[in-house]
A and B are shown apart, each in its own frame.
Chain A
Amino acid sequence: MKMTPLAVVVGSLLILATIVFVVVLLPYVNTSQTAPSDIFRQRAADEAAGRKLYIANGCVYCHSQSIRTIDWGLGAERIAQAGDYVADYPILLGSQRTGPDLSQDGGEHPDDWHVAHFTNPRYTRPLSIMPAFRFLGDDHMGNLIRYVQSLGMKDADRRMQRQRFWKTEAIKGYEAGPDANVQWLSEHIPQGWRDVPNPYPTSEAGLARGHKIYQDFCLGCHGPVGDGMGPAQPWIYPPPLNFTILKNREISGGILYYQIMNGITGTAMPYFKRELESEKIWDVGNYVAVNFINDSDANTEPKGIDAAYEP
């Protein structure tokens, strides 16, 4: 084959044109007919403004918005559909997941948690490597939070409704004073859980494990000494629970376990069932009970058949 300038230039341009037709234009026949999915809704003005900030600050380089069939983490309850993205330009699928996928982050946390988190992510999540976004200023941060709280669209709206309802209840509970607040919190735990003591005896190893979990997950809000005065405290209302007031208030191991596992919607307390396996939740609960409440029910009755691994 003789390679003339014409053959090289026109030939490669023709090939490119053909391939653009096949892999860019032809798919448009499919994708242009995408109907909005069942959770789709348009964005409000403040949410759209927040999305611009999300783009300007390159959030997309660490947070995907693309839930896959193989995902287990945040948002895995709903696999992404083409119809979720019909209003997105540019689309923000992301290519790296240094932080969690945010497709369904809306309503996972109340707004005050986000304020603390954007102010410095390590205030709420001690192991996070996300940059602080206080430099955005309050207005911009507010819009960014509106955008994040809209992720998941109609599903997010339902979760936000739940957050707002329980936020009002939680504030009422908190403002009624420590006695009423603790009672309000315990009342909402199924009786079965309230009756269960921590089934495992206190051990040095267990406390050491609990200490590590506490530092990695809890310290930002509840503080290093469990008094609820962690660095996130100034932004959070109702404020993080002060464990040191809980002595003689019938806080069982089961209550601690349940609250850590499920979180407390409306407050900044997230659920940890995805992040911590059973033993870690029991261990951190007992760490709190022994060190901060000074009242642990570990290994008391009722308990079942003796555990096989105990010394």
Chain B
Amino acid sequence: MAAETQTLESPNTTAKGFALTSAFWMMIATFFGLLGATELVAPDLTENIGGIVFGRVRPTHVNLVLFGFVTPGLLSAAFYFIPRLLRTRLFSERLGVFTVVVWNIALVGAVATLAAGFTQGREYAELIWPIDIMVVAAFSLVFYNFIMTVKNRQEPILYVSVWYVLAGTILTACTFALGNVIWKPDSGALVGIHDAILLWFYGHNVFGLLLTPLSAAVAYYVIPRACRAPLYSHTLSLLGFWALIVVYTHIGTHHLLQVPVPTWLKVVAIVDSVAMVIPVMAFLINIWYTAKGRLGEIHADIGAKFVFTGTIMYFFVSIQGSLMALPDVQRVTHFNNWVVAHAHIGVLGFAGMIALGGLYYTIPKLSGKPLYSRFLADFQYWMVLIGMVGFTVVLTIAGLIQGNAWLNGETVYRVLPEIHVYYVVRAGLGLMIFSSAVLGFYNIVRSLFGKTGASS
């Protein structure tokens, strides 16, 4: 990792493109989240506006967060560090820019089609066939660009971040095609119970084979560099990487424990969900021991601060996820806002925080000047952190109320007024997250295109 000089002249256009993509779509994605949260509080506010009925807003929010904000943010960092880790140039900036364009067209298409009611109706696999093709093509192009960069490398040893990026992009291209039943363009679905099994195999792999590997790659790059320390253990890197791919891919059926699917498959899903502590702790111990005694350096770098916070959230969301796969726990937590809280710790607290960290760590290096405003970035950090922890608290409370009330025989309708106040707080916190995204976009645009970096 000492070859910066060879690549300084790189234009980094692809990394900048993905950075802007991420910052822009974070605003749109969180706006849709805020809109949906508001509709749950005041359903008649948007009465009879078909394009933004709650059932169309929610999948738009989820897809934009996953594929508009978090994934491009992580890829932006990857497009910066992969050539540097390999002591070479990116194979093709033109291909990279083309990928960014395809990516953004797919996202615009996603918003338009979902608003118009074109959907495959399957969670995380809503996007219709033409957009599916674009997404698979985009992931394939990203992989191709990276693997060709690997081929041209001057550095013989592949660092752990490279493993994760290669595996994450190629495996996601495969599971996205599989999960969206891409060979059936009309429905994008299988028939009956098997559709649910395939859907949740894919759905969980959006986190297991896309967000987690890319986030791990960014953390493995940013933390040792920010700490100016070597990585704690190569063995733990190996264990974490292979265990992640083996274990994470088995657990999708833990979404279906209360559904008539084969029992042996449920057992596999539960056992492997608990076994998730192996890849999770291998990664976390490796990162945390690398940073041991050097938290001051992490605190000093806003990017590393985001990333390190993300690793802490990864600990919480993973332990919680393992517990939620236990049938006795799931009797209370299934079908209610507990799961929504869990999703927000995972995607915003872990992968989202690390994506933002990757952006703030690399953007000064991409632009060759300091961030436009360290203060704004810090402010965004606290808004996201408070908002996300707040989501977790209120939605977990709401979920416990719902789950226990239902077990106790109260009807869904009776429980609605009991969770109303938590929905109000959630919408308020959503406004905070959306505002932070607007600040972040402003900061990132000024940092990339401003004439000089002003420090504050």
Chain B residues closer than 8 Å to A31, beta-carbon distance: 192-194, 197, 261-262
Chain A residues closer than 8 Å to B255, beta-carbon distance: 95
From B43, B193, B246, B256, A130 is in contact (CB under 8 Å) with B43
Would you call A30 and B245 a contact (CB within 8 A)? no
Chain B residues closer than 8 Å to A73, beta-carbon distance: 406, 411-412
CB 8 Å contact bits of B247-270 with A (1 = contact, 0 = none): 001101101101111100100110
CA distance A62 to B36 in the complex (A): 12
CA distance A16 to B250 in the complex (A): 10
Would you call B118 and A93 a contact (CB within 8 A)? no
Distance in Å: Cβ of A176 to nearest Cβ of chain B: 34
Is residue B163 within 8 Å, beta carbon to beta carbon, of the partner chain? yes
From B55, B147, B162, B198, A131 is in contact (CB under 8 Å) with B55
Given A68-B258, A134-B48, A127:B53 Cβ within 8 A: no
Is residue A207 within 8 Å, beta carbon to beta carbon, of the partner chain? no
CA distance A57 to B58 in the complex (A): 10
Would you call A131 and B158 a contact (CB within 8 A)? no
CA distance A3 to B122 in the complex (A): 37
Is residue B120 within 8 Å, beta carbon to beta carbon, of the partner chain? yes
Would you call B413 and A125 a contact (CB within 8 A)? yes
Is residue B46 within 8 Å, beta carbon to beta carbon, of the partner chain? yes
CB 8 Å contact bits of A5-25 with B (1 = contact, 0 = none): 100110111011001101110
Chain A residues closer than 8 Å to B50, beta-carbon distance: 57, 135-136
Q: Please provide the chain B residues from 318 to 344 with a CB less than 8 Å away from any CB of chain A in the complex.
A: 331, 334-337, 339-340
Would you call A8 and B167 a contact (CB within 8 A)? yes
Given A57-B117, A88-B195, A131-B55, A81:B260 Cβ within 8 A: yes
Would you call A16 and B174 a contact (CB within 8 A)? yes
Chain B residues closer than 8 Å to A30, beta-carbon distance: 262
Is residue B170 within 8 Å, beta carbon to beta carbon, of the partner chain? yes
CB 8 Å contact bits of B296-332 with A (1 = contact, 0 = none): 0000000000000000000000000000000000010
Would you call B413 and A127 a contact (CB within 8 A)? yes
Chain B residues closer than 8 Å to A135, beta-carbon distance: 48-50, 53
Would you call A20 and B189 a contact (CB within 8 A)? no
Would you call A95 and B335 a contact (CB within 8 A)? yes
CA distance A136 to B334 in the complex (A): 31
Would you call A12 and B167 a contact (CB within 8 A)? yes
Chain A residues closer than 8 Å to B246, beta-carbon distance: 15, 19
Would you call A62 and B245 a contact (CB within 8 A)? no
Would you call B58 and A127 a contact (CB within 8 A)? no
Q: Please provide the chain A residues from 40 to 91 with a CB less than 8 Å away from any CB of chain B in the complex.
A: 55-62, 64, 66, 68-74, 80-82, 85-91
CB 8 Å contact bits of B161-194 with A (1 = contact, 0 = none): 0110011001100110010000000011111111
Is residue B436 within 8 Å, beta carbon to beta carbon, of the partner chain? no
Chain B residues closer than 8 Å to A87, beta-carbon distance: 191-192
How many chain B residues touch A (Cβ–Cβ < 8 Å)? Answer: 88
Chain A residues closer than 8 Å to B273, beta-carbon distance: none
Chain B residues closer than 8 Å to A95, beta-carbon distance: 123, 255, 335, 339
Chain B residues closer than 8 Å to A66, beta-carbon distance: 258-259
Would you call B197 and A89 a contact (CB within 8 A)? no
CB 8 Å contact bits of B54-96 with A (1 = contact, 0 = none): 1110110000000000000000000000000000000000000
From B54, B196, B199, A62 is in contact (CB under 8 Å) with B54
Q: Please provide the chain A residues from 181 to 216 with a CB less than 8 Å away from any CB of chain B in the complex.
A: 216
From A23, A69, A88, A122, B268 is in contact (CB under 8 Å) with A23
From A16, A24, A57, B197 is in contact (CB under 8 Å) with A24
Would you call B265 and A27 a contact (CB within 8 A)? yes
Chain A residues closer than 8 Å to B365, beta-carbon distance: none
How many chain A residues touch B (Cβ–Cβ < 8 Å)? Answer: 76
Chain A residues closer than 8 Å to B48, beta-carbon distance: 132-135
Q: Which residue of A lies closest to B191 (CB)?
A: A89
Would you call A23 and B192 a contact (CB within 8 A)? no
From A96, A128, A134, B416 is in contact (CB under 8 Å) with A128
CB 8 Å contact bits of A84-128 with B (1 = contact, 0 = none): 011111111111111111000000000000000000111001011
CA distance A12 to B409 in the complex (A): 46
Chain B residues closer than 8 Å to A278, beta-carbon distance: none
Is residue B383 within 8 Å, beta carbon to beta carbon, of the partner chain? no
Is residue A248 within 8 Å, beta carbon to beta carbon, of the partner chain? no
CA distance A32 to B261 in the complex (A): 11
Given A56-B118, A91-B195, A275:B261 Cβ within 8 A: no
Given A61-B59, A70-B331, A23:B201 Cβ within 8 A: yes
CB 8 Å contact bits of A127-167 with B (1 = contact, 0 = none): 11111111110000000000000000000000000000000
Chain A residues closer than 8 Å to B377, beta-carbon distance: none
Chain B residues closer than 8 Å to A27, beta-carbon distance: 194, 197, 261-262, 265
Distance in Å: Cβ of A96 to nearest Cβ of chain B: 6
Would you call B189 and A9 a contact (CB within 8 A)? no
Distance in Å: Cβ of B169 to nearest Cβ of chain A: 10
Would you call B339 and A89 a contact (CB within 8 A)? no
Is residue B276 within 8 Å, beta carbon to beta carbon, of the partner chain? no
Distance in Å: Cβ of B188 to nearest Cβ of chain A: 7
From A5, A93, A127, A136, B196 is in contact (CB under 8 Å) with A93
Distance in Å: Cβ of A76 to nearest Cβ of chain B: 9
Assuming A13-B170, A55-B120, A135-B50, what are 17 further A-B pairs, CB within 8 angstroms?
Answer: A8-B158, A8-B163, A19-B249, A19-B250, A31-B261, A56-B121, A57-B117, A58-B56, A86-B191, A87-B192, A89-B187, A89-B190, A90-B122, A90-B195, A93-B196, A97-B402, A127-B417
What are 16 A-to-B residue pairs whose CB atoms are below 8 Å? A5-B147, A16-B209, A19-B250, A22-B250, A32-B194, A58-B54, A59-B55, A60-B121, A71-B406, A81-B260, A95-B335, A128-B413, A129-B39, A129-B43, A132-B47, A134-B48
Listed in ascending order, the chain A residues whose CB lies under 8 Å from chain B are 1, 3-5, 8-9, 11-13, 15-16, 19-20, 22-24, 27-28, 30-32, 34, 55-62, 64, 66, 68-74, 80-82, 85-101, 120-122, 125, 127-136, 216, 274-275
